[in-house]
């Protein structure tokens, strides 16, 4: 018998917001071909995903999977972080902010 969690639908997207408790907003982009004109178009959609550990930050590329309804708008959960974004790396290390502030002060003199 197969694990039913692995059979669920998964999507990849970018975390737009991680301000809410245990929730991230993920933007998923897909491309499709227009029926009549054959032009490839991009469509974006936002999903609310459950992040119990709170490890995802803005700018991260994450994989989300369909799950049972967790709240009114949350039907997805964060499976893994595929790539940490630039915003997340800057937010996690306070030394970067101190270095930028020191460089700004040194450049003004």
Give the confidence band of 19 by pLDDT, cuts at 50, 70, 90.
very high
CA dihedral sign of residues 83, 60, 24, 43? negative
The reported pLDDT for the residue numbered 55 is: 95
The stretch 79-94 carries a mean pLDDT of 74
Q: Which option is the CATH number for 4-84: 2.40.50.140, 3.20.20.300, 3.40.50.1820, 3.30.70.2970?
A: 2.40.50.140
The band of 109, judged by pLDDT with boundaries at 50, 70 and 90, is: very low
Q: Which residue has the higher pLDDT, 105 or 90?
A: 105
pTM: 0.73
């Amino acid at each position: 018998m197969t694990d039913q969690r692995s059979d669920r639908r998964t999507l990849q997207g970018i975390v737009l917001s991680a301000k809410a408790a245990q929730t991230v907003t993920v933007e998923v982009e897909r491309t499709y071909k227009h029926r009549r004109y054959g032009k490839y178009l991009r469509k974006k959609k936002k999903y609310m995903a459950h992040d119990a550990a709170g490890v995802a930050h803005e700018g991260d590329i994450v994989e989300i999977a369909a799950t049972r309804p967790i709240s009114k708008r949350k039907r997805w959960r964060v499976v893994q972080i595929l790539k940490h974004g630039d915003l997340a790396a800057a937010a996690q290390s306070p030394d970067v902010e101190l270095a930028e502030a020191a460089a700004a002060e040194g450049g003004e003199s």
